[in-house]
Amino acid sequence: MHRILLIILAGISAALSGCATLSRDECQSGDWHKIGIQDGSDGRTEDRFKTHAKACELDRSEVSKTAYLEARQKGLEIYCTQVRGYREGSLGQKYLGVCPPQTASQFLTGFEFGRRINQTEIQLSDTANGIYSVSQKLLLPSTSDSDRAELLREQARLQGEEVRLKGELQKLRSQADSLVLSSRKKN
Protein backbone atom coordinates (compact mmCIF):
# COMPACT_ATOMS: atom_id res chain seq x y z
CA MET A 1 0.00 0.00 0.00
CA HIS A 2 2.84 2.35 0.88
CA ARG A 3 4.48 1.67 -2.49
CA ILE A 4 1.26 2.47 -4.37
CA LEU A 5 0.93 5.75 -2.48
CA LEU A 6 4.51 6.70 -3.40
CA ILE A 7 3.85 5.91 -7.06
CA ILE A 8 0.68 8.02 -7.04
CA LEU A 9 2.47 10.93 -5.35
CA ALA A 10 5.36 10.72 -7.83
CA GLY A 11 2.87 10.79 -10.72
CA ILE A 12 1.06 13.82 -9.31
CA SER A 13 4.36 15.60 -8.73
CA ALA A 14 5.51 14.88 -12.29
CA ALA A 15 2.19 16.06 -13.69
CA LEU A 16 2.29 19.29 -11.72
CA SER A 17 5.88 20.06 -12.65
CA GLY A 18 4.94 19.55 -16.32
CA CYS A 19 2.52 22.48 -16.06
CA ALA A 20 5.26 25.07 -15.67
CA THR A 21 6.95 26.02 -18.92
CA LEU A 22 9.92 27.60 -17.15
CA SER A 23 11.90 26.73 -14.07
CA ARG A 24 12.09 29.06 -11.08
CA ASP A 25 15.66 29.96 -12.08
CA GLU A 26 14.56 30.86 -15.61
CA CYS A 27 11.79 33.07 -14.23
CA GLN A 28 14.12 34.80 -11.81
CA SER A 29 16.87 35.35 -14.38
CA GLY A 30 14.30 37.05 -16.60
CA ASP A 31 16.24 36.47 -19.81
CA TRP A 32 13.20 36.96 -22.02
CA HIS A 33 15.41 37.46 -25.06
CA LYS A 34 16.89 33.96 -24.67
CA ILE A 35 13.47 32.43 -23.93
CA GLY A 36 11.94 34.14 -26.98
CA ILE A 37 14.68 32.94 -29.32
CA GLN A 38 14.31 29.39 -28.02
CA ASP A 39 10.54 29.39 -28.42
CA GLY A 40 10.79 30.88 -31.92
CA SER A 41 13.39 28.36 -33.03
CA ASP A 42 11.12 25.59 -31.67
CA GLY A 43 8.19 26.91 -33.73
CA ARG A 44 6.08 27.92 -30.73
CA THR A 45 3.13 30.28 -31.08
CA GLU A 46 2.89 33.70 -29.41
CA ASP A 47 0.49 32.16 -26.88
CA ARG A 48 3.47 30.45 -25.29
CA PHE A 49 4.36 33.80 -23.71
CA LYS A 50 1.10 33.80 -21.71
CA THR A 51 1.93 30.36 -20.34
CA HIS A 52 5.43 31.52 -19.36
CA ALA A 53 4.07 34.68 -17.73
CA LYS A 54 1.57 32.65 -15.73
CA ALA A 55 4.33 30.27 -14.59
CA CYS A 56 6.52 33.19 -13.50
CA GLU A 57 3.66 35.06 -11.86
CA LEU A 58 3.97 32.73 -8.89
CA ASP A 59 7.54 33.93 -8.36
CA ARG A 60 6.55 37.57 -8.87
CA SER A 61 9.25 37.77 -11.54
CA GLU A 62 9.31 40.63 -14.00
CA VAL A 63 7.99 39.65 -17.41
CA SER A 64 8.99 41.49 -20.61
CA LYS A 65 6.64 40.72 -23.47
CA THR A 66 8.39 43.11 -25.86
CA ALA A 67 11.81 41.49 -25.40
CA TYR A 68 10.23 38.06 -25.72
CA LEU A 69 8.31 38.81 -28.94
CA GLU A 70 11.28 40.52 -30.64
CA ALA A 71 13.52 37.59 -29.79
CA ARG A 72 10.86 35.06 -30.83
CA GLN A 73 10.86 36.65 -34.30
CA LYS A 74 14.63 36.05 -34.49
CA GLY A 75 14.06 32.47 -33.40
CA LEU A 76 11.48 32.02 -36.15
CA GLU A 77 14.20 32.90 -38.67
CA ILE A 78 15.97 29.74 -37.50
CA TYR A 79 12.79 27.67 -37.57
CA CYS A 80 11.15 28.87 -40.79
CA THR A 81 13.53 27.28 -43.28
CA GLN A 82 13.03 24.58 -45.87
CA VAL A 83 15.44 22.24 -44.09
CA ARG A 84 13.70 22.68 -40.75
CA GLY A 85 10.32 22.21 -42.42
CA TYR A 86 11.56 18.94 -43.88
CA ARG A 87 12.84 17.80 -40.48
CA GLU A 88 9.58 18.66 -38.71
CA GLY A 89 7.46 16.95 -41.37
CA SER A 90 9.59 13.81 -41.42
CA LEU A 91 9.28 13.54 -37.63
CA GLY A 92 5.49 13.73 -37.90
CA GLN A 93 5.30 17.10 -36.12
CA LYS A 94 2.45 19.53 -36.63
CA TYR A 95 2.93 22.94 -38.17
CA LEU A 96 1.29 25.66 -36.11
CA GLY A 97 1.29 28.37 -38.78
CA VAL A 98 3.97 30.45 -37.08
CA CYS A 99 6.15 31.38 -40.05
CA PRO A 100 5.79 34.90 -41.45
CA PRO A 101 4.52 35.13 -45.07
CA GLN A 102 8.00 35.74 -46.50
CA THR A 103 9.32 32.38 -45.18
CA ALA A 104 6.15 30.28 -44.87
CA SER A 105 6.25 28.88 -48.41
CA GLN A 106 9.85 27.63 -48.13
CA PHE A 107 9.10 26.05 -44.74
CA LEU A 108 5.94 24.41 -46.08
CA THR A 109 7.72 23.02 -49.14
CA GLY A 110 10.19 21.21 -46.91
CA PHE A 111 7.46 20.27 -44.46
CA GLU A 112 5.36 18.65 -47.18
CA PHE A 113 8.28 16.52 -48.38
CA GLY A 114 9.01 15.44 -44.83
CA ARG A 115 5.34 14.72 -44.13
CA ARG A 116 5.06 12.55 -47.25
CA ILE A 117 8.14 10.60 -46.20
CA ASN A 118 6.75 10.15 -42.69
CA GLN A 119 3.40 8.89 -44.02
CA THR A 120 5.11 6.50 -46.44
CA GLU A 121 7.28 5.13 -43.62
CA ILE A 122 4.17 4.52 -41.54
CA GLN A 123 2.46 2.75 -44.45
CA LEU A 124 5.58 0.65 -44.99
CA SER A 125 5.66 -0.32 -41.32
CA ASP A 126 1.96 -1.24 -41.39
CA THR A 127 2.53 -3.34 -44.50
CA ALA A 128 5.49 -5.16 -42.91
CA ASN A 129 3.33 -5.86 -39.85
CA GLY A 130 0.62 -7.23 -42.16
CA ILE A 131 3.11 -9.53 -43.87
CA TYR A 132 4.31 -10.80 -40.51
CA SER A 133 0.74 -11.39 -39.33
CA VAL A 134 -0.14 -13.37 -42.47
CA SER A 135 3.10 -15.38 -42.18
CA GLN A 136 2.22 -16.32 -38.60
CA LYS A 137 -1.27 -17.47 -39.64
CA LEU A 138 0.25 -19.57 -42.42
CA LEU A 139 2.36 -21.40 -39.82
CA LEU A 140 -0.67 -22.52 -37.83
CA PRO A 141 -1.43 -26.22 -38.35
CA SER A 142 -5.15 -25.46 -37.96
CA THR A 143 -5.22 -23.24 -41.09
CA SER A 144 -7.42 -24.88 -43.72
CA ASP A 145 -6.31 -25.25 -47.35
CA SER A 146 -8.83 -22.64 -48.52
CA ASP A 147 -7.71 -20.21 -45.81
CA ARG A 148 -4.09 -20.93 -46.69
CA ALA A 149 -4.74 -20.08 -50.36
CA GLU A 150 -6.41 -16.81 -49.34
CA LEU A 151 -3.55 -15.99 -46.96
CA LEU A 152 -0.97 -16.64 -49.69
CA ARG A 153 -2.81 -14.24 -52.02
CA GLU A 154 -2.89 -11.64 -49.25
CA GLN A 155 0.80 -12.19 -48.53
CA ALA A 156 1.67 -11.70 -52.22
CA ARG A 157 -0.45 -8.53 -52.37
CA LEU A 158 1.24 -7.13 -49.26
CA GLN A 159 4.70 -8.00 -50.56
CA GLY A 160 3.93 -6.16 -53.80
CA GLU A 161 2.72 -3.17 -51.77
CA GLU A 162 5.92 -3.30 -49.72
CA VAL A 163 8.07 -3.18 -52.88
CA ARG A 164 6.01 -0.26 -54.22
CA LEU A 165 6.31 1.68 -50.95
CA LYS A 166 10.07 1.09 -50.70
CA GLY A 167 10.47 2.47 -54.22
CA GLU A 168 8.28 5.47 -53.39
CA LEU A 169 10.22 6.11 -50.20
CA GLN A 170 13.54 5.95 -52.03
CA LYS A 171 12.25 8.43 -54.64
CA LEU A 172 10.92 10.81 -51.98
CA ARG A 173 14.18 10.70 -50.02
CA SER A 174 16.17 11.42 -53.15
CA GLN A 175 13.92 14.41 -53.94
CA ALA A 176 14.20 15.61 -50.35
CA ASP A 177 17.99 15.30 -50.44
CA SER A 178 18.05 17.47 -53.57
CA LEU A 179 15.73 19.96 -51.88
CA VAL A 180 17.95 20.16 -48.80
CA LEU A 181 21.14 20.50 -50.88
CA SER A 182 19.69 23.28 -53.02
CA SER A 183 18.43 25.03 -49.89
CA ARG A 184 21.87 24.90 -48.31
CA LYS A 185 23.53 26.22 -51.47
CA LYS A 186 21.26 29.27 -51.32
CA ASN A 187 22.38 30.03 -47.76
DSSP per-residue string spanning 76-88: HHHHSSHHHHHHH
CA distances from residue 171 to 117, 175, 176 in whole angstroms, order as listed: 10, 6, 9
**pLDDT for residue 182 is more than 70:** yes
How many angstroms separate the CA atoms of 22 and 41, rounded? 16
How many angstroms separate the CA atoms of 129 and 140, rounded? 17
How many angstroms separate the CA atoms of 35 and 67, rounded? 9
pTM, full prediction: 0.74
Q: Where are the domains of the chain?
A: 22-79, 81-187
Angle at 105 between CA 51 and CA 35, to 5 degrees: 25
What is the chain's mean pLDDT, rounded?
Answer: 85
Highest mean pLDDT among 8-17, 45-54, 161-170: 161-170
